[in-house]
Structure 1
């Protein structure tokens, strides 16, 4: 190997001039130096200075990330470039030219492409880390790496068949980490159990099927053993008890059965044990000896018996998750008092007795979840001082007494859930201290007294559920200060007074239910200004006066004004079949179109009120005439200024497809006469292009109402979900552009370009002439959809979601899947639209946690309220609701479903007999197609399973839908049979 330039000078300066010249002319760079410099030029490293020291003038031993061999300073022994923001293809062939290389660490970068099939030049490698990258294809045979001791390929993007047989030549392996790769399914590889030197084995999510072999007990050096998220079956082998050095054992989310083996008690060094989401049965007796446990997670199994009393003495146990089992008996009284719990979840069992009082004794507890058991007694006063609590959930028990006042004011808690108990007392003014509280769920108790005005100071509230209690007094006027409030449930109380007009300031409110109280006065017309209101129930009160016409501007899936003392005419725009029954029990209402109500008549005489009104009109006419001209002048001036301001903006155009229009073509068309809709995030305009095609343009103001310098533009501003503000609009705009700009799919709406300025943004989409699926199914102008069209809409929409979840580089979560976000083209082909709430799953993260409930009432998956966790299965749930709409013709929320019931609950109640199941199907669907409709209904029920893990992936949904392809109805003919009509339906057989 040639001497480096730094070694040449001191060696040559003592030689004769001729020899010195010969030395100077010899190669100045070592082979390893040339290799490293070539590597530097081939790797991409934006925003990092990792290669600043990699120069020809520097010794390679001074290169960042390089460690030289101990024998000399000219050869590389270790190359450590993990987490260096490197991307692009990996030139592994070149790297293997480093003859002395023993360690290659390139994990946590963004490398792409395939890895060379021949690794025979890397035979000295002892340590290889390519994990957490974005490679493609199969990982090659690595039998030649016989000296390998550490192999890390976890979450690297490799797929196909992993070369398990290569492990036969790498018996020196100490650490093997292959998890989170899409390998082909394979039985538990026998080569694994022959690696007797292993100390670290990570095989989570590697598609391993079948039983865990008994021979696993021979790997006695193991410290960490993980094979979760696979397809393992059978029992946990008893030999697992031989692994006495285990520190961590994880096998969650498989199909394991049987009991926890008694030998598990031998693992006295075990700190973390997770076998949740399996089918384990029996008791927990084997775990009572695991005195060093820090975390124990066995949730969602079929375990029974008592929680071992020994748990109360465990000095390290801080995380205990046993929910959704069949456990019974009392929890140990001293549970958590020694260790200081961080988190406990024992929900959905049959546990009894009191809540252990000292689980927050160390003052570090973050989660207390004990819902749906049979606990009795009160809430221990000690938890009122547990200021670290984030989640407090004890609903659906038999608890009683008063809630300690300090609970209401815990400063960090984001959910208080005490529903369905027997609590008494008041909701105290301490609630004003709960600055982080997102959900206040106290329904179905015996709470009483007036609601404190301080509730308005809990400004993070998203959901309030106070229903079915004995609250009295007026609704606090300050409720309008809750700008994030999405759901307000106050039905079945003794509330009086009027509906606060300040509620109209809750710009995020989507569900308002204050039915069955003693409210009086008029319905505030300002309710019609709530931009996201989806369900309004103010029935069974003492409300009077007229129905405000402003309610017509709302797009409600549920409206119930029944059983009040309302008078006057039912607004024509509300006189539709969708609101049938919404006005019953108001005998003084009249209508020209709604059956069951008296006709509205004009009075023959002129009442005093009418005369007064006419006088006012006459007096005001002169003022109107004078001002009208001024108004028109100002309006035209305003319009001209607005149009001019749009054209004068500095616009930045970003195109994502080949454009057949110019920026001016779009800007010239943003005017009121082209307005076709107002969505949750902007005004939408139809723009007809010179080539005869149409596009849709969404206009969004990125500055807030008080920030935009062109507030007087002719284009109205529209508030955002979450309360409007420029920051919210900017985030939604960024989400939509980021999501749609790179997507190319037939069933996802096409974004042609974005046109943005400092204060305003225009998104140009393909125009969908048949509107949304919601319009076609539920509005008064609906077009009949035959069953074949409904089926094709279901399949197309599913394919669009499948692409978002599985076809993008990283999964895209839509988070607001609903029928109004499925648009239909001229042939009724569907497109998924409105990506303002979308999230791209980040590398290494399977879920997104958010405190704001994203989505629309009736479509939101139940786990939002339970865990705030968002993943692909939440979209699957929402799509299942859409399928139910297609099959039944019903909206997600209907009065006939009952209070707090949605279409999922309603359909679940209809699954008892064949007749009741068929009654679900929309009567407009021909009888001959109802069997096919039931097939889709079955898929919908799978999609809306309570547990996210039980729902199929969208890929599976598409496959099931394709297998449920209906017969094609060719025609319906009417013939006569003995004088009576007879229907003959002709079908085309499936291919």
Structure 2
């Protein structure tokens, strides 16, 4: 029969019926009549109601695998009478209660797997009697207390996984387990210093101590761990400098040291780890530069060094790199052109000190935030010259207490407070505490700029437009009224202009009427806003040397100061009445539908 193996005497020796969709109770009364049975494997079925009765009759049983069934209930004591067992798997079975102290009677066990159950209480000290044990898996239970002292006796132990329990205390006794291949202590409450001997165990392949409260350094003896492939210490309190000797652990593939307190420089030779595929050092206190050696690490696909104090330039990228996060550091210089050759899954360079142009292939609408917080970095999709590299003509209309660079530095994504058809509006907070609003308008795209450099008619047309625009700004700049927004200055380059206004913290009247439920306007406040706006319009029409017709008065163009006093804003469509008093008309109707005066629509006057 399939799954049944017999010995030379034709007696059943092994039953292997895993993954057969078996249901119901386990018929041990029949199975244990097989006097030669030494292996019983029924994992990945739907067996239930297992009490272990009559299991003690399977006196020759050496291998018992009942994992991944739905037994429920306490640990079956009858198993503890099977003195010849060397393999026991009761993982994922719904077993509850404590691990019995008599587990120490199974002295020939080499493999004990009790993972993903409801086991609670302490790990019994008697487990230290299992001197032949090579694998102990107790992860995903509710075990508490310290590791039992007897664990130090398991000198043949190779695989220890007690992850996701509530174990506590130090792990100093583990330094005696010199044959360890895999140590997994994830998501417990362990404290203290990781013993120096642990880092350099010569057979160790995996160290995962993520999400504990370990302290102290990674010691230089890690150079002796020639077989280690994964080193994970995320979410602990480890500190000190990363040892240069880590580059001698030549089998390392994954280094995850994020969210600790490591400081100092990243080891310069870390890129010499030719098998390294993932390096995660984010949320530490690392300083210095990013090692150039990482450029030659040809197998690396993930680098995350965000939220450190790294400085200097970004080195050339390695060819397989797919995820790169260097945000929240102090990196400077240009973005390397080598980054353009990747199809990135993740690329974050925000909040550094980078400058110069962003490679065109990296700039998309979705990626704008990936580069924000770099004042000297150009992020425009059309890739005109970076703002700080432009030549700006500044025209002031009030006494200025700020510099050109302070205004340019404010043009960052995190300062964006509004968008419009003609440009974006940013909030600028100056070193003296003054808040300003900066409107950035692109007069033409950079492609047109490049085409027009050798075309005099086009350039002449642009110069004429710029002159007309300048005349209008000069006129608006002469306005002085409490109900008209104050324009401090304009800054003009070849293809864009900046307008620096006073900042009005309560936004627009439209926002207050439709968006801000927590601060609804009472009727008295609405009345004073209406009167203030009317006074502003009266001044524009009759109080200026040349009357100004706004042509787009609406609630979104009425801004409110900290006392909810109104200011008329956004003069992008405004027009000055001719000085000679002649008739002024246009064949183009401008303004916003729903707000345009009916007479203006009919007569265009």
User: Normalising by the residue count of structure 2, what TM-score does the alignment of the two structures yield?
Assistant: 0.63
Alignment of 1:450-849 (within 5 A): 450-476=289-315, 478-479=316-317, 482-507=318-343, 509-528=344-363, 537-545=370-378, 547-549=380-382, 583=413, 585=415, 591-592=421-422, 598=439, 600=441, 602=443, 614-617=452-455
Give the deviation of 1:264 after TM superposition.
0.9
Whether contact under 8 Å (2:261, 2:285) holds in the other structure is yes
1:439 deviation in Å?
1.0
Corresponding pairs, count: 423
Please state which structure has a larger fraction of its residues in strand.
Answer: 2
TM-aligned CA deviation for residue 408 of structure 1: 4.2
3-state DSSP of counterpart to 1:384: helix
Q: Which residue of 1 aligns with 2:581?
A: none
Counterpart of 1:245?
84
1:667-713 deviation digits (Å, cap 9, x = unpaired): xxxxxxxxxxxxxxxxxxxxxxxxxxxxxxxxxxxxxxxxxxxxxxx
Taking structure 1 as reference, are residues 598 and 415 closer, same or farther at Cα in structure 2, changes over 3 Å only?
A: same
Correspondence for 2:583:
none
After superposition, where does 1:822-971 map in structure 2 within 5 Å? none
Cα distance in 2 for residues equivalent to 1:243 and 1:252:
18
Tell me, yes or no, if the aligned pair for 2:298 and 2:320 is still in contact at 8 Å.
yes
Specify the alignment match of 1:393 in structure 2: 232
Give me the whole-angstrom Cα distance separating, in 1, the residues matched to 2:371 and 2:449: 33
2:191 alignment partner, one of 327, 348, 352:
352
Distance in 2 (CA, whole Å) between partners of 1:200 and 1:349 is 35
Partner residue of 2:162?
A: 322
Provide the rounded CA distance (Å) in 1 between the counterparts of 2:248 and 2:454.
53
Does residue 292 (structure 1) correspond to residue 122 (structure 2)? The answer is: no
Name the larger-Rg structure: 2
**Equivalent runs, 1:62-81 vs 2, <5 Å:** none
Q: 1:310 to 1:584 in 2, by over 3 A?
A: closer
Query: How far apart, in 2, do the equivalents of 1:610 and 1:328 lie?
Result: 67
Runs of 5+ consecutive residues of structure 1 not aligned to the other structure: 1-127, 132-141, 143-147, 152-169, 552-563, 569-580, 604-608, 620-991
- Structure 2 Cα separation of the partners of residues 548 and 173 of structure 1: 74
Local SS of the residue matching 1:407 = helix
Shift of residue 307, structure 1, vs aligned partner: 1.1
Structure-2 change in CA distance of 1:432 and 1:611 (3 Å)? closer
What is the alpha-carbon distance in structure 1 between the residues aligned to residue 240 and residue 284 of structure 2? 10
| Change in CA separation of 1:441 and 1:188 when aligned onto 2, cut-off 3 Å | same
Change beyond 3 A, Cα 1:414–1:585: same
With over 3 angstroms needed to count, the CA separation of the structure-2 counterparts of 1:409 and 1:451, relative to structure 1, is: farther
What are the within-5 Å matches in structure 2 for residues 92-241 of structure 1? 128=1, 130-131=2-3, 149=6, 172-183=11-22, 185-190=23-28, 191-241=30-80
Q: Is the aligned partner of 1:371 residue 2:217?
A: no
Distance (whole Å) between structure 2 residues aligned to residue 499 and residue 590 of structure 1: 29
Alpha-carbon separation, structure 2, partners of 1:504 and 1:440 = 21
Which segments of 5 or more consecutive residues in structure 2 lack a partner in the other structure? 392-410, 427-437, 458-605
CA shift, 1:522, in A, is 2.3
- Report SS of the residue matched to 1:214: coil
CA shift for structure 1 position 591: 4.3
- Structure 1 residue 293: Cα displacement: 0.5
Say if 1:291 and 1:526 are closer, same or farther in 2 by CA, change over 3 A.
same
Deviation at 1:429, TM superposition (A): 1.7
Query: Relative to structure 1, is the Cα distance of residues 391 and 584 closer, same or farther in structure 2, using a 3 angstrom cutoff?
Result: closer
Give the Å deviation of 1:241: 1.5
Q: Distance in 1 between matches of 2:443 and 2:6?
A: 94
Equivalent residue of 2:54, what SS?
helix
User: Displacement, 1:543?
Assistant: 3.0
Displacement after TM superposition at 1:200 (Å): 0.9
Find the counterpart in structure 2 of residue 959 from structure 1.
Answer: none
Q: Conserved in 1, the CA contact under 8 Å of 2:117 and 2:141?
A: yes
Higher RCO (C-alpha 8 Å, min separation 6): 2
> Which residue of the partner structure matches residue 312 of structure 1?
152
Contact 2:423 2:441 in 1 (8 A): no
Question: 2 CA distance for matches of 1:345 and 1:262?
Answer: 23
Change in Cα spacing, 1:543 to 1:222, as seen in structure 2 (3 Å) is: same
| Deviation of the 1:173 alpha carbon | 2.6
Q: 1:540 to 1:611 in 2, by over 3 A?
A: closer
Q: CA RMSD in A?
A: 3.6
Distance verdict in 2 for CA 1:421–1:544, change over 3 Å: closer
Deviation at 1:295, TM superposition (A): 0.7
Distance in structure 2 (CA, Å) of the matches to 1:279 and 1:594: 57
- Please say if 1:267 is aligned against 2:100: no
Q: Conserved in 1, the CA contact under 8 Å of 2:301 and 2:321?
A: yes
Contact residue 198 and residue 221 of structure 1 kept, 8 A:
yes
Distance 1:511 1:260 in 2: 45
Q: Determine if the alignment matches structure 1 residue 332 to structure 2 residue 183.
A: no
Aligned to 1:431: 270
Tell me, in whole angstroms, the C-alpha distance in 2 between the residues paired with 1:317 and 1:336. Answer: 12
CA separation of 1:324 and 1:535: change in aligned 2, threshold 3 A: farther
